[in-house]
Homo-oligomer: A and B are copies of this chain.
Amino acid sequence: MSNKKIPESTVSRLFLYLREIVVLCGMNIRTISSAELGERVNLSDVQVRKDLGHVGQFGTSGAGYDTEELKTALEKILGKNKVWNVAVVGAGHLGSALLTYPGFKTHNLNMVAAFDSEDKKIGKKISNVTIQNISEILKNIKDKKVTIGVVAVPAESAQGVADKLVSSGVECILNFAPASISVPENVKIKNVDLSRELETLSYFLANKR
């Protein structure tokens, strides 16, 4: 078992399993089979066993997974037992929306810094975070032990901001800008396309009538 190379889509499914397992533990359900767990999240038992194979060896054949044991192992491998500091670059509509968005805290994500290049925004507070000049990135990210940087700037500024974040020591970048960004191999980049959320709705509209 190596946890160094779990692909991103598998990681997303591990979070999905964890959410279900937390519910099951709350209901005092002690064991669950791969087929039952798969049914709850709409995946085949084969897929569930393959995915959980990345996490470790659980249960004995036929008895199903021990839910408490699985919960602990998933939380550990997914880093849910730690708190991570986040900085947002770009305090426009999207950056401000992210800074004020509830729910990050429940995911152990701490918004600790925000940066913008527009003079009139510097010094303003959004959700207790003071917007600083983008030239302060290097010093602040080190001082505040930020590991996740969020890029919420226009496409043309995205690469420059990412470069600054990388040289400040950020280990993960979440990119909301509609631009592809290059980062060194040891930095994790995740591109977010908000329109994907809307996309799946077209299926329901097309099949309603």
Which residues of A are in contact with B by a Cβ distance under 8 Å? 3-4, 6-12, 14-15, 41-44, 46-47, 50, 76-80, 82, 84, 86, 92-94, 96-98, 100-104, 106-109, 147-148, 150, 155, 171-172, 174, 178, 186, 188, 190, 192-208
Contact = CB atoms under 8 A, between A and B. Distances in A.
A197 B207 contact: no
Nearest to A81: B206
B44 A201 contact: no
A107 to B, nearest CB: 5
Copies of this chain in its oligomeric complex:
2
Contact of A205 (B103, B172, B197): B172
27 contacts: A4-B207, A7-B42, A9-B41, A11-B203, A15-B203, A44-B44, A47-B47, A76-B206, A78-B203, A78-B206, A79-B206, A82-B205, A82-B206, A84-B205, A93-B94, A104-B195, A107-B198, A148-B205, A171-B205, A172-B201, A172-B204, A174-B197, A188-B205, A188-B208, A190-B197, A190-B201, A192-B197
A208 B104 CA distance: 21
Nearest to A80: B202
A206 B84 CA distance: 10
Given A10-B42, A205-B171, A207-B79, A190 B200 contact: yes
B46 A107 contact: no
B148 A79 contact: no
Nearest to A14: B203
Nearest to A16: B9
Contacts of A47: 43-44, 46-47
Contacts of A76: 206
Given A76-B206, A93-B94, A172-B204, 16 more contacts: A9-B41, A12-B200, A15-B200, A46-B47, A77-B206, A78-B203, A79-B205, A79-B206, A93-B97, A94-B97, A107-B196, A107-B199, A109-B202, A172-B205, A174-B197, A174-B198
